[in-house]
Amino acid sequence: MRERLERVRDDPQRVLALAGEFLDLASRMVSRAEKLARIGDRTQARMVDLNRRLRQQEEQYRGIFENSTEGIFLADAAGRLLTVNQALVELLAPPPGPGAGVGEAALAETATVASLFFDHADFRVFEQVLQASGRVRRMEVRLVTPRGPVWCLVGASVIEPDGHVVGMTQDISARKALEDELVRRATSDSLTGLANRRGFFENAVRAQAAAARSRAPLGMIMVDVDHFKNVNDAYGHDVGDAVLRAVAGRLRDSVRVADMVGRVGGEEFAVLCPGTDLAGGEELAERLRRALEGLCVEAGGQCVRVTASFGVAVFTEGLDPEPAACLARADKALYAAKRSGRNRVCLDCGLWPALRGGAAEMA
């Protein structure tokens, strides 16, 4: 522009024309500058609005994180806890007291995701599923807490691109306790507190499998209260119930810790005896017979005494495909005791002669 002005400075017309061009260029530059300014204002306004909405979302998520009744944690890709919310702190940290002082920061600094799990096998499954699919949904596990292991539902997701893991925990200990109570009621006899028929056979199936694996003996004893109908007829069903409770208590107190007593019928009881052969079962049954023989149940100032008959059998591989088969043989021995005069112990006649003959040969 300066060179052009030097060339035409002696020509007023051309100077005026050049000046007009300059003014037009300046006008266009001003217009463009104003347009850029308006664009800048709009961009700045959008950035301000975006920041405002981000702050709102952050506040919302922070509110959810801090006020959620479910535990929430954030961990890095190595499994180190970065932050946890107050609900998780209250679940996992010791109660307030002298020397406690465990809060969100302290828990996050000292813990890993693995350390939250009571059973390491559960953590390995959690880790494998998370690595394979990037998400874990509603996994039931026990978490470590100061009051002991607590059942929780755990879910987690991997956040890309840094590989952080966000997880949630929900305390389901009340539900699990209810489930356990329902199972207990379904497998327990309400009158005596012993295992009912279903509970007894469920335990017998497990005991039979363990005996087969270890090739250890497994004894079964059937018990039937003698003349129990006479007790009900003479004293009433309330006294009859009291007699059954007393019999159940005496049986339970007279067996070993490893043994299990169940009520499998009206006045019928069964004893499961792991590690007990036929001779041991006979010895235990005789001890139980004497214990019941000395039992006295008070009823209207009178002492009601009862006796019981016993049948003993031992689980035999190949002969007893299920516990009911062995118990049926013990039941036959029981009825042999009944026919022999009651208040006595009889052994499974199908197996005992062979054992007795073998013992005679050894002698």
- Asked if the model's pLDDT at residue 8 lies above 60, the reply is no
Q: Which domain holds residue 93?
A: 68-175
Domain count, the chain: 3
Return d(Cα 296, Cα 102) in angstroms, integer: 57
In a domain, 167, yes or no: yes
169 and 196 together in one domain: no
149 and 95 together in one domain: yes
List residues bridging with 271 in a β-sheet. Answer: 221, 261
Q: Which of 128, 153, 175 lies at the terminal end of a domain, its last residue?
A: 175
Average pLDDT of 123-146?
92
Average pLDDT of 238-248?
95
72 and 169 together in one domain: yes
The per-residue pLDDT for 17 is: 66
203 and 345 together in one domain: yes
Q: Which of 63, 96, 111 lies at the terminal end of a domain, its last residue?
A: 63
pLDDT per residue over 185-239, tens digit each?
899 999 999 999 999 999 999 999 999 899 999 999 999 999 999 999 999 999 9
- 281: CATH: 3.30.70.270
The per-residue pLDDT for 358 is: 36
In a domain, 183, yes or no: no
Residue 211 vs residue 14, higher pLDDT: 211
Q: In the structure, what pLDDT confidence band is assigned to residue 308 with cuts at 50, 70 and 90?
A: very high
206 and 329 together in one domain: yes
- Asked if the model's pLDDT at residue 266 lies above 90, the reply is yes
Question: Percent of the chain beyond pLDDT 90?
Answer: 57
Average pLDDT of 54-66?
69
- Asked if the model's pLDDT at residue 361 lies above 50, the reply is no
91 and 194 together in one domain: no
346 and 255 together in one domain: yes
- Provide the whole-model pTM: 0.63
pLDDT per residue over 270-305, tens digit each?
999 999 999 999 999 999 999 999 899 988 788 999
285 and 342 together in one domain: yes
- Asked if the model's pLDDT at residue 349 lies above 80, the reply is no
Tell me which of 51-65, 177-191, 256-270 is least confident: 51-65
Q: Which of 63, 93, 111 lies at the terminal end of a domain, its last residue?
A: 63
Question: Percent of the chain beyond pLDDT 70?
Answer: 83
Average pLDDT of 265-271?
96
219 and 292 together in one domain: yes
In a domain, 155, yes or no: yes
The per-residue pLDDT for 355 is: 40
Average pLDDT of 139-144?
93
Please state, rounded to an integer, the average pLDDT across all residues of the chain: 84
Which candidate, 271, 227, 263, places its Cα nearest to that of 244?
A: 263
116 and 219 together in one domain: no
192 and 322 together in one domain: yes
- 114: CATH: 3.30.450.20
- Asked if the model's pLDDT at residue 94 lies above 70, the reply is no
198 and 310 together in one domain: yes
The per-residue pLDDT for 320 is: 86
Tell me which of 66-80, 125-139, 261-275, 324-338 is least confident: 66-80
Q: In the structure, what pLDDT confidence band is assigned to residue 360 with cuts at 50, 70 and 90?
A: very low
The per-residue pLDDT for 353 is: 43
Q: In the structure, what pLDDT confidence band is assigned to residue 68 with cuts at 50, 70 and 90?
A: confident
